[in-house]
Amino acid sequence: MSTPASQQPSPQLFFQTMNAHQRTEALKAGIEFEVFTAIGEGNTTVAEIAKRCHASEKGTRVLCDYLTIMEMLTKQGDRYGLTLDSSVFLDKHSPAYLGGAVEFLASPMITGGSKYMVEAVRKGGTAMPDDGTIGPDNPIWVTFARAMAALMDLPSQLMAKLVDPNADRKLKILDIAAGHGLFGIAFAKNNPHAEITALDWKAVLEVAKENAQKAGVADRYTTIEGSAFDVEFGSGYDLVLLTNFLHHFDAPTCETLMRKVHAALADGGRAVTLEFVPNEDRVTPPDAAGFSMMMLTSTPSGDAYTFSELERMAANAGFSRSTLHPLPPTIEQVVISEK
Amino acid sequence: MSTPASQQPSPQLFFQTMNAHQRTEALKAGIEFEVFTAIGEGNTTVAEIAKRCHASEKGTRVLCDYLTIMEMLTKQGDRYGLTLDSSVFLDKHSPAYLGGAVEFLASPMITGGSKYMVEAVRKGGTAMPDDGTIGPDNPIWVTFARAMAALMDLPSQLMAKLVDPNADRKLKILDIAAGHGLFGIAFAKNNPHAEITALDWKAVLEVAKENAQKAGVADRYTTIEGSAFDVEFGSGYDLVLLTNFLHHFDAPTCETLMRKVHAALADGGRAVTLEFVPNEDRVTPPDAAGFSMMMLTSTPSGDAYTFSELERMAANAGFSRSTLHPLPPTIEQVVISEK
């Protein structure tokens, strides 16, 4: 982290950062105009892209140049092209298209917190009304369930294979804050003996049930409506899934929930937590560590927890042992806590 | 620009870009809380920084970690430190402190255009009312003149030395859209025989006159109030300065102005243009090329012009020859056009 003595000070990073908000807007504009899809279809000059996207040639040229500077497009002479990432994730004709995630990631409920970052830093939690994203029945989670499913397809499959590699025995699984339902559904697809109980707000569960139907596992899919902190879980579960959930709450709240999870597990059962897990230094790896800022600005007391913090919560809740498992190529990790 | 065949697609850049707006807010928050100044004073733990900055410890920890991830702070154990750039540009005790520039760079008039980027791309110019930043007497230019002066101290000195290296003869200089006035003032400080006429909106000239007074050159400093397109320039100038001005207008408008500049110059006089000049590919170097996006979103028809475009405007306006001069370490360049 030290600076070589030979280096000259430069205001470049200051300017780039002051203008970083333009990058977010340019990506959103590129997706909204379907610039990536247009180029994937073979429209590669400014004139061709502008026509396909119903935009001005001037605006198209500036946007495409800016996306090239952002390394989301390539440019050779007067022709633009897609990068590998853009062709896979930003072209609507790609099965891995992620553009829909913008509806969640750029929603006022998520970006709004960032606008009041100063107040959030001052008080130590979101400055948005009604507890930010975690208020009861917040409609943002229906948006989330619809917008983020495509993104969770790969991680959910990787997690099911990590946790249930043999897929040869009956598993009773509780999927807490199921959202789109993809994590529970991946276990059900991976193992024909798995039975899933999905828990979330009622409106969100409608999305999960649709996805279970599409995946052909609806006959092994039941639901519990309400808050994970209030409703009865039932008991005898082999696995309880906590995917992208704990980061919304403070450590004592997480521990309270983990105690309830512990009680709902059968002997030998496991809690499976998917999280952004920073290293103990809290500043690496950058994407997982940086997630703490989104929790600061959008929740009253959420955080990105280190493994030692997650381990302590589980231990305090009665779990005998927790282990950390990377889930490449995703930036999240899995913590398996044994009853 | 080609992607190695071995590379795996990753949504990492997509996520980082969707969250890039957080970087702008975090830098603004760090400056507003004086985090960099606090650390420079020796407050290096979360508790010390939080106390000095009147912020919560949780918020301070998350902000400082995020600024570390952004490479604007360092972290060793539980102690934060300043990078070279942060110590020079973001600590209020540094003579090169740039934090004041936030007032301009983060002002609604500048960032507001970015929020309507989709509409700007569609129409090919700003979607803000009243022509964005270039409407008559827009108060943003008083903010600019006050906020950006510190930033222009070095470039203005470099430009004066580049254009008038010997500083040994009488020079009559017109400084168009003078703003803070620093460019003209630098010529006056560099050469005791230089006489400056600064042109800008009346309210903006008050700032320039203050700066000329502070620099001790007020006795060689006169002003012309109004729009560069409307007022009389006078004649017989040795130099006409056009610093960060042409990018606000389309090429025909720039040419019209250059013709007026040409007429105001003495024989052998020179027009001196300071600009963000992209290479002919329009996507390198990234900072100069990316400036076109700010002009698209904040002006009706401005742009970042390549040297060949600037050369053509000058030639069409009657100049015999234009030459391009980098101004390191700044990202801008100087075009000298000879009458």
Per-window interface: B 17-46 vs A, CB < 8 A: 17-29, 32-33
Cβ-Cβ contacts under 8 Å, B293 against chain A: 22, 26, 62-63, 66
State the best of A7, A12, A23, A94 to mutate against chain B, taking most chain B CBs within 10 Å.
Answer: A23
Nearest CA in chain B to A83: B3
Greater confidence, A248 or B129? A248
pLDDT for B303 equals 97
Mean pLDDT of B221-230: 97
Helix (H), strand (E) counts: chain A: 16, 9
pLDDT for B111 equals 81
Q: How far away is chain A from the Cα of B218, in angstroms, using its nearest Cα?
A: 30
pLDDT for B1 equals 40
Q: Is B139 helix (H, G, I), strand (E, B) or coil?
A: coil
Q: DSSP assignment of A9-24, as one string?
A: P-SHHHHHHHTHHHHH
pLDDT for B3 equals 44
pLDDT for B6 equals 54
Cβ-Cβ contacts under 8 Å, A26 against chain B: 117, 293
Per-window interface: B 75-104 vs A, CB < 8 A: 75-76, 81, 83-85, 87-90, 96, 98, 101-102
Greater confidence, B23 or B135? B23
User: Of the ranges B108-112, B193-197, B274-278, which one carries the lowest mean pLDDT score?
Assistant: B108-112
d(CA B67, CA B60): 10
The residues with which B323 forms a beta bridge, in sequence order, are: B336
pLDDT for B5 equals 47
Cβ-Cβ contacts under 8 Å, B125 against chain A: 58-59
Per-window interface: A 235-294 vs B, CB < 8 A: 281-283, 286-287, 289-290, 292-294
Mean per-residue pLDDT pooled into runs of 10, chain A (339 residues): 61 92 96 98 98 98 98 98 96 92 84 87 90 75 86 93 97 97 98 98 96 98 97 98 97 98 98 98 96 95 97 98 95 97
B233-260 confidence digits (pLDDT tens): 999 999 999 999 999 999 999 999 999 9
Mean model confidence pLDDT for chain B: 94
- Is it the case that residue B11 has pLDDT exceeding 90? no
Let me know: does B15 contact B37? Beta carbons within 8 Å: no
- Is it the case that residue B318 has pLDDT exceeding 70? yes
∠ CA B264-B268-B269 to the nearest 5 degrees?
40
Say yes or no: ipTM exceeds 0.90.
yes
Let me know: does A87 contact B3? Beta carbons within 8 Å: no
A17 and B27 within 8 Å at the Cβ level: the answer is yes
Which residue type sits at A23? Answer: R
Confidence tier at B329 by pLDDT (50, 70, 90): confident
Tell me the CA distances in angstroms from A134 to A177, A205, A248, A302, B35, one per residue in order: 11, 16, 7, 10, 29
d(CA B240, CA B159): 13
B29-49 confidence digits (pLDDT tens): 999 999 999 999 999 999 999
Nearest CA in chain A to B284: A69
Residue A288 φ/ψ, nearest 5 degrees: -70, -45
Cβ-Cβ contacts under 8 Å, A102 against chain B: 18
- Read off the pTM: 0.92
pLDDT for B4 equals 47
B266-311 confidence digits (pLDDT tens): 999 999 999 999 999 999 999 999 999 999 999 999 999 999 999 9
pLDDT for A148 equals 86
Give burial (CB, 10 Å; 0-12/13-18/19+) of B218: middle
Let me know: does B18 contact B9? Beta carbons within 8 Å: no
pLDDT for B145 equals 87
d(CA B36, CA B40): 6
Residue B338 φ/ψ, nearest 5 degrees: -95, 135
